[in-house]
Chain A
Amino acid sequence: MGKLTGKVAVVTGASKGIGAAIAKAYGAEGASVVVNYASSKAGADAVVAAITAAGGTAVAVGGDVSQAAEARGIIDAAIANYGRLDILVNNSGVYEFSPIESLTEEQFHRQFNINVLGLLLTTQAAVAHLEAGGSIINVGSLVSRITPAESAIYTGTKGAVDAITGVLSRELGPKGIRVNALNPGIVETEGTRTAGIVGSDFEKGAVSQTPLGRIGQPNDIATIAVFLGSDASGWLTGEQLVASGGMR
């Protein structure tokens, strides 16, 4: 029996990268998974195909978390397909680094709309269905601890995610719903490869400051997300787990 057998999970932004790895790990541990995507239907379909090929259950559902009606639609898809909801993984996020001199309102609104407002909207929609034993996992970032230069907007969004995690853990605890943040360091994904981070001097510098001496892989994060979704973490709420090989 898997660690998540019988549970239904929604993973937002799961067409690639960390979200895709979490969705696959959830499927492998027995959860029925709603694989949300904003734009890459092909990516989400590939994740669903991988889960079903391994004997799991999953469905791809399009929707932009920053639009209230679409956020509700993603959650409703879990109820329509599987009849309940146990775990929400708020993974959708965008990032763009800029020095303070060149950041723009457009950058601000794009990142806060998806990373913060979208997280609140999907959580609001999910809380209508989650019962005692439910788990919400907010994928934050190590940046809220190390506050790198030229990341004011992105790090601002992730600081907000940490804060919301604490607030909602207190607010939803009496209903038996847990809320935790999972804050990865640098992870090798399509995104960090495209951004030129993987293979760069920046990466080498980060690895040299990482006690475990490498960058993260999506599965490093996914196994922790399985724990936070499972009853094994039933006494953990309001926590921020920094998943970074010790870099901080």
Chain B
Amino acid sequence: MSTLANKIAFVTGASKGIGASIAKHLAQAGATVIVNYATSKAGADKTVADITAAGGTAVAIQGDFSKPEEITRVYAEIKETYGRLDVLVNNAAVYAFGALEDVTPEEFYRQFNLNVLGLLLATKEAVALFGPDGGSVINIGSGVTRITPAQSSIYTATKGAVDAITGVLARELGARNIRVNSLNPGIVETEGTQSAGFIGSEFEKGLVAQTPLGRVGQPQDIASVAVFLASDDSGWLTGEHLIVGGGLR
């Protein structure tokens, strides 16, 4: 039997990059996967098509998780279609780096409203759909909370909040057998990091030089860890922050 057979998993921000890879790997392990996207219907449709072509089950649902009313609507749809949930992957996030001098309230709210408030509200709604056997919440944080790179104050702050929330909710939800863990990737080669110019840059070369395993991450490096955290194999892990970055810290 597959590791995640009969489980229903919801992945936010799964139209591309790490989220898309996690959705595909969860489906490959036997889960029914709900693929959320905010803007890229084409990307989400491709994720779903890849899953169904491989014999898996998935559906795409639009919803911008920086908007509380859209979160409520998405979960109402999930409840109506599936009636329950077993795994939530809080992956939807935005990032922008900038010096302290460039910090604005608008940029602060743009990142915090999705990366932190969206994660909290998504978890609140998911927990209401978890059954008597509990469930697994996987918060996609970032290696930046350990490294705290210069000129990333807003983004790193959102991910520091995510680490903290992971610990709080692990304690708060443990009695209901709901596990909450953070999966904190280092730099990963995605459409996002490619278009931002990270991949191929001197910045990337510097990071690789500091990475014991000597390369940048690929989305599937992260996705296989997410499958583990979603599965009962990690049933005794909660409140943990897994830094998945080839040893870079």
**Contacting pair B213 A237 (CB below 8 A):** yes
A223 within 8 A of B: yes
* Partner pick for B245 among A210, A211, A234, A235, CB 8 A cutoff: A235
Q: How far is the CB of A185 from chain B (nearest CB, A)?
A: 8
Extra 15 A-B pairs, beta carbons < 8 Å, given A233-B224, A238-B212, A242-B237: A173-B213, A173-B214, A174-B212, A211-B171, A211-B172, A211-B174, A212-B179, A227-B233, A231-B224, A233-B228, A236-B225, A241-B242, A242-B240, A246-B171, A246-B179
- A244: chain B residues at CB < 8 Å are 236
**Contacting pair A224 B233 (CB below 8 A):** yes
Known: A173-B211, A176-B213. Contact between A237 and B247, CB under 8 A? Answer: yes
**Contacting pair B214 A235 (CB below 8 A):** no
A170 within 8 A of B: yes
- B237: chain A residues at CB < 8 Å are 224, 241-243
Interface size class of B (residues with CB under 8 A): 35 or more
Interface size class of A (residues with CB under 8 A): 20 to 34
Which of chain B's residues 219-248 have a Cβ closer than 8 Å to chain A? 221-222, 224-225, 227-228, 232-240, 242-247
B interface residue numbers (CB < 8 A to A):
170-175, 177, 179, 211-214, 217, 221-222, 224-225, 227-228, 232-240, 242-247, 249
Q: How far is the CA of A211 from the CA of B240 in the complex (A)?
A: 12
Contact with B along A161-196 (1 / 0, CB 8 A): 000000001101110101000000000000000000
Secondary structure of the B side of the interface?
Answer: mixed
* Partner pick for B233 among A173, A178, A210, A226, CB 8 A cutoff: A226
Nearest chain B residue, comparing its CB with the CB of A173: B212
- A224: chain B residues at CB < 8 Å are 233-234, 236-237
- A234: chain B residues at CB < 8 Å are 221, 224
Q: How far is the CB of A91 from chain B (nearest CB, A)?
A: 16
**Contacting pair A248 B244 (CB below 8 A):** no
Q: How far is the CA of A241 from the CA of B184 in the complex (A)?
A: 13
**Contacting pair B212 A227 (CB below 8 A):** no
Q: How far is the CB of A132 from chain B (nearest CB, A)?
A: 10
Q: How far is the CA of A224 from the CA of B214 in the complex (A)?
A: 25
